[in-house]
Structure 1
Amino acid sequence: MTNTVNSYISQMNELNIEQIHRDAQNKLSYWRNDSHRRINEFYQEKLEELQDYISEVKALYETKMRTIEDYLNQLVNQQDMSEEDSRLFIHSKNQAIQQTLEELKQICVQINPHPIIIDESEICIGKKFNLKKLAHYSSQIPYAESSSAAIATNNEFILLHQHPNLCLFNRSAQLIRQCPWTDEWIRDMSWSATLKLFFIITSSKVFFADEQIMSIAIADNFCRQTWFSCTCSDRSLYLSTCEWGSSIFEFSLQQQSTLVHQWKPPTTCKPSEGINDIQYSNGTLALMIKDNQAHERNLVVKSIRTFDTIWSFSLESSTNIRLMTCCPLKNNEWLIMDGAQLQIYHVTGRGKNVEKMNFDSVPYRASFLGSSMLVVATELSLNFYSIWF
């Protein structure tokens, strides 16, 4: 009983409403600062376009001015012409000058900036997720054959694998950019808001790509492991290994991917268990764990500070080897994509309250694109859902 009481007291001491307030305000401030940065970058891009265009306009302007000067010189210096020829010559030059002057007057720079329209649904405060919104998707991208279901999102874009390319799509499911992917099968991907980079992992390598996937490079300072899943906090990159008795590695994002910590069984899971997925959210790390012997499947939420289990939720046992993953929601709630049972779970109240719905296609992964759109990677397609909380 003493241990139980001490555990409750410890959990109560960890609760800090002022810190929760600060964290929420920091998220709002980050959104504001990031929006300002993006506006400034867009302004600089358009300013460079304007300067290039002005250079072209100036060149055209100077050419026509020289043409008029030539016509005027010809008028002043005309000689050895009959009266009739002189009259016709002057008339033609006057017409040419007038036409060129009219063309000069038409030279202008058209700029039609549209006001920025902010969708208030982009920032949702204190509103609840509704699983029923997943009944109908707003957009869909069919997967090419042999494509990985790994996805990563930030506020604007989603990165996915469409064999044989890595593709960047926007919120309207429009292709923004693609580049060839010729390396190993992609196991998982994650977005780092701190570094503004995508991490891409294969079984033996870790890659990073900038937000526009203009540059993709291999990170060669990671220890040799067989990787399976990844996730980012504001300070660290977490990687789990592909093995029964999985380990989890924590690498610093700010110190050239220095190894900060390594957790092994039985802290991570039992020797007979494997970690299907890891996801970071609000100081916690969620682990999707499957037992190879008992075929039990669990969502386990751990404190990132102590790595103690805060709570867990058990799914139906299954021998099916299909992937099961999770996606964090607000208020310490979670979505679980159960590929074995073709179901999505909405888990609240530390695993005590559960809502679920069946899916026609195997759901593999889910991630939020901003705060009002959820993307779900299924066996056949990537589906976009407008989530109005």
Structure 2
Amino acid sequence: MSLMINVLSYTPNSIIQRLNDISEDYYALASSGHSLLVECGLKLCLYDQRLNSTEILWNWGLISDICWCEQLHLFIIVTVVNVYIFDETKLIIDQIETIQPYKAEKKFWGCTCTDQDLFISYKGCDTRIDQYALTKSYYFIQQWKHLCSRRGIIRDMRCTLDKKQLCLLVSTENDWRLDVRNSGTMEFIWSRFLLINLDARCRLSMLPNSESLIINWNENRIFRINGNSTLVEKKDYKTNYLVRNIEVVGFAYLVVYTSTGLYIYEI
């Protein structure tokens, strides 16, 4: 546990394997705890605990986000217009036809799960989040509106590992911040402002103990924030690769998705 919390101390010298699988755009990945699913352009790469990989062809458009659904034991995959499920045991991809944007011109962006619900966010200046039940029908529950300012953009979102809180990475015309809300009621809990350029691209990743990592693509910088909104650490990566996303796989591996491939570290 303590090694994972000190995630920013990892260096290229401690790497155990580098895998040459590279995304075309969004660098989406998610872990089930014992496996890792990575978006690699026109294919999905599924890695097991021994880092053996299985490739699955992907022909349904750019993937903007992936999350693991513990309740259904499925990966959920979001493109700008549709949502899919991926069964890691059967290697089958199916579309969730009951989930569609609330308007034809709107585009999906992010996804995350609690034990009961699936949350879907929208691309651009649209702060709505749709909530669906994690049942076989994936029925619509409600739409949460105006969770940040009218001109705000929800850049990324993740539930804490205990599923009790929903973390929203938000940018506005003036600032970036991390907002934390109750995942059941959407009640506001706290917010942390971040020194990030307004035109930056960023990703959000969760660590144990309700800690958050914000990955700043433009400056190759990572912020680590604890569950009390304190900025614990900030690190600039002085490397020839650009950090795009980070995922912890169970208690075994730390995976860093970069502009040159996947770097995997043993915990």
TM-score, with length taken from structure 1 = 0.62
Question: 2:209 is aligned with what amino acid?
Answer: N
Give the distance between the partners of 1:340 and 1:162, measured in 2 at CA. Answer: 21
Give the distance between the partners of 2:248 and 2:72, measured in 1 at CA. Answer: 19
Question: 2:37 is aligned with what amino acid?
Answer: L
What is residue 131 of structure 2 aligned with on the other side? Answer: 250
The unaligned stretches of length 5 or more in structure 1 are 1-123
What is residue 188 of structure 2 aligned with on the other side? Answer: 309
The offset of 1:320, in angstroms, is 2.8
Spell out the pairing of 1:2-21 with structure 2 (5 A cutoff): none
What is residue 384 of structure 1 aligned with on the other side? Answer: 264
What is residue 39 of structure 2 aligned with on the other side? Answer: 161
Contact kept, 8 Å, 2:46 with 2:55, in 1: the verdict is: yes
Question: 2:74 is aligned with what amino acid?
Answer: L
The unaligned stretches of length 5 or more in structure 2 are none
Q: Which has the higher contact order (CA 8 A, sep 6+)?
A: 2
User: Judging changes above 3 Å, is the alpha-carbon distance between structure 1 residues 144 and 278 closer, same or farther for their aligned structure 2 residues?
Assistant: closer
What is residue 339 of structure 1 aligned with on the other side? Answer: 217
Contact kept, 8 Å, 1:365 with 1:378, in 2: the verdict is: yes
What is residue 71 of structure 1 aligned with on the other side? Answer: none
- Give deviations 1:47-78, integer Å, cap 9, x for gaps: xxxxxxxxxxxxxxxxxxxxxxxxxxxxxxxx
Q: Which moved more, 1:182-191 or 1:251-260?
A: 251-260
The offset of 1:159, in angstroms, is 0.8
- Give deviations 1:235-267, integer Å, cap 9, x for gaps: 1111101121321111100261111221111xx
Matched, 1:279 2:192: no
Q: Give the alignment partner of residue 200 of structure 1, picking from 77, 87, 98.
A: 77
Q: Which moved more, 1:241-250 or 1:127-136?
A: 127-136
Give the distance between the partners of 1:231 and 1:241, measured in 2 at CA. Answer: 13
User: Judging changes above 3 Å, is the alpha-carbon distance between structure 1 residues 234 and 328 closer, same or farther for their aligned structure 2 residues?
Assistant: same
What is residue 27 of structure 2 aligned with on the other side? Answer: 149
The offset of 1:309, in angstroms, is 2.0
What is residue 249 of structure 2 aligned with on the other side? Answer: 369
3-state DSSP of counterpart to 1:187: strand
User: Judging changes above 3 Å, is the alpha-carbon distance between structure 1 residues 270 and 180 closer, same or farther for their aligned structure 2 residues?
Assistant: same
User: Judging changes above 3 Å, is the alpha-carbon distance between structure 1 residues 254 and 319 closer, same or farther for their aligned structure 2 residues?
Assistant: same
3-state DSSP of counterpart to 2:81: coil
The structure that is helix-richer by fraction is: 1
- Give deviations 1:142-191, integer Å, cap 9, x for gaps: 2347364110111221111223211111234321x212111110000111
Give the distance between the partners of 1:157 and 1:145, measured in 2 at CA. Answer: 18
Give the distance between the partners of 1:128 and 1:242, measured in 2 at CA. Answer: 31
Which one has the largest radius of gyration?
Answer: 1
The structure that is strand-richer by fraction is: 2
Contact kept, 8 Å, 1:245 with 1:269, in 2: the verdict is: no
Spell out the pairing of 1:223-242 with structure 2 (5 A cutoff): 223-224=100-101, 225-242=106-123
Spell out the pairing of 1:20-39 with structure 2 (5 A cutoff): none
Contact kept, 8 Å, 1:206 with 1:219, in 2: the verdict is: yes
Q: Which moved more, 1:211-220 or 1:271-280?
A: 211-220
Give the distance between the partners of 1:179 and 1:127, measured in 2 at CA. Answer: 32
Question: 1:161 is aligned with what amino acid?
Answer: E
3-state DSSP of counterpart to 2:5: coil
Spell out the pairing of 1:93-172 with structure 2 (5 A cutoff): 124=1, 129-136=5-12, 137-144=15-22, 146=24, 148-172=26-50
Give the distance between the partners of 1:342 and 1:277, measured in 2 at CA. Answer: 17
Question: 2:203 is aligned with what amino acid?
Answer: T
User: Judging changes above 3 Å, is the alpha-carbon distance between structure 1 residues 234 and 145 closer, same or farther for their aligned structure 2 residues?
Assistant: closer
3-state DSSP of counterpart to 2:10: helix
Give the distance between the partners of 1:353 and 1:145, measured in 2 at CA. Answer: 29
Question: 2:177 is aligned with what amino acid?
Answer: N
Q: Which moved more, 1:164-173 or 1:282-291?
A: 164-173
Contact kept, 8 Å, 1:245 with 1:270, in 2: the verdict is: no
The offset of 1:127, in angstroms, is 7.3
User: Judging changes above 3 Å, is the alpha-carbon distance between structure 1 residues 270 and 146 closer, same or farther for their aligned structure 2 residues?
Assistant: same
Say how many residue pairs are matched: 257
Give the distance between the partners of 1:347 and 1:149, measured in 2 at CA. Answer: 22
Q: Give the alignment partner of residue 214 of structure 1, picking from 79, 82, 91.
A: 91
Question: 1:205 is aligned with what amino acid?
Answer: N
User: Judging changes above 3 Å, is the alpha-carbon distance between structure 1 residues 349 and 181 closer, same or farther for their aligned structure 2 residues?
Assistant: closer
- Give deviations 1:206-259, integer Å, cap 9, x for gaps: 011101362111110013241100011111111101121321111100261111
Give the distance between the partners of 1:213 and 1:204, measured in 2 at CA. Answer: 24
Q: Give the alignment partner of residue 178 of structure 2, picking from 275, 282, 299.
A: 299
TM-score, with length taken from structure 2 = 0.88
Runs of 4+ aligned residues of structure 1 deviating over 6 Å after TM superposition are: none
